[in-house]
Amino acid sequence: MIIESVKEAFNLIILLDQDVMEIVSLSLQVSLMSVILAVFAGVFIGSFLALSNFPFRNSIILIFNVLMGLPPVVAGLIIYIILSASGPLGVYNLLYTPTAMVIAQFILILPFIVTISRQVVEDLSEEYAEFFSIFGLTLYEKIKTMLWDGRYSLLTAVMAGLGRALSEVGAVLIVGGNINHYTRTMTTTIAMETSKGDISRAISLGIILLIIALGLNLIIHIYQTKGKKHSYV
């Protein structure tokens, strides 16, 4: 039975089964959008925290460090409460939509991007302090230079964030509802199909998810190798 399920799973992939491809497409769209938003916000916040000195700065840094360990189901529950009909943003009817899933993944990824961006900029600001003072660069020019020099570390963080987004189950299930043809992702479908006994579909999505994960890890390895080789040059 298991062999037959595996064969059927490969058939679904090879024949580009419409339902499977739709689920994969939605998963990639939601995850990529959440990562893009997290990168823009996270790099800005991380750079600001690295180069600024203001009251409660250390407290904010601590909060982001704590949020890196935030359980996904807790994040999903909080967002559910906020977006529910009785919540502060209930009027926008975002619950059980792809937008709600993007928000959930954004909240989970943002702390990683902020923390790594801050660390990269802090390390480089110390390394290039004399260089910046000699040439009198503006804050914008400093940030631009350091982000470029630390690009491999940042890209590694981005790939890791994308991997976390794609593998997320709890939060997207809570706020997305796993609605067929609307908010059903690879991970939520795998959980559902396994519980239903449709192993072949779960295996097909598991194989695709595994291939994506291996690809992301390969990219991370390449960026880490380049980063060590260039040493922020």
| Closest C-alpha to 124, from 2, 227, 11 | 227
pLDDT in tens, 67-88: 999 999 999 999 999 999 999 9
Pick the more confident residue, 94 or 121: 94
The 10s digit of each residue's pLDDT in 138-184 is 778 888 888 888 888 888 888 888 888 988 899 999 999 999 999 99
Q: CB atoms < 10 A from the CB of 68, how many?
A: 13
Extract the tokens encoding 29.
Answer: 């769209």
CB 38 within 8 A of CB 109: yes
**How far is the C-alpha of 115 from the C-alpha of 49, rounded, in Å?**
9
- Supply the pLDDT for residue 90: 92
For tokens 């660390």, name the residue: 119
142 near 51, Cβ under 8 Å? yes
Q: What is the mean pLDDT of the chain?
A: 89
Task: Please tell me the distance from the alpha carbon of residue 77 to that of residue 153, in angstroms, as a whole number.
Answer: 32
Q: Is the pLDDT of residue 226 over 90?
A: no
**Alpha helices (runs of H) in 52-167, residue ranges in sequence order:** 57-67, 72-83, 98-127, 129-135, 139-149, 151-167
> What's the pTM?
0.89
Q: Which helix (H) or strand (E) holds 136?
A: none
pLDDT of residue 228: 63
- pLDDT given for residue 133 in this prediction: 78
Amino acid identity of 171?
Answer: A
Q: Looking at the 3D structure of the chain, how many domains does it have?
A: 1
R_g of the chain, CA atoms, integer Å: 21
Residue 198: band (very low, low, confident or very high) from pLDDT cuts 50, 70, 90: confident
Expressed as residue numbers, the domain containing 90 is: 2-230
What is the pLDDT averaged over residues 24-36? 95
User: What pLDDT score was predicted for residue 176?
Assistant: 95
Place of tokens 């790594």: 116
Q: How confident is the model at residue 232 (pLDDT cuts 50, 70, 90)?
A: very low
Q: Is 162 exposed, middle or buried (0-12, 13-18, 19+ CB in 10 A)?
A: buried
pLDDT at residue 224 tops 80: no
Residue the block writes with tokens 């631009």: 144
Write the CATH number for 206. 1.10.3720.10
Dump pLDDT digits (tens) for 114-127: 998 898 888 888 88
- With a cut of 90, say whether residue 99 has pLDDT above it: yes
Residue type, 86: S
Q: How far is CA 108 from the centre of its chain?
A: 7
Distance CA 53, CA 226 (A): 32
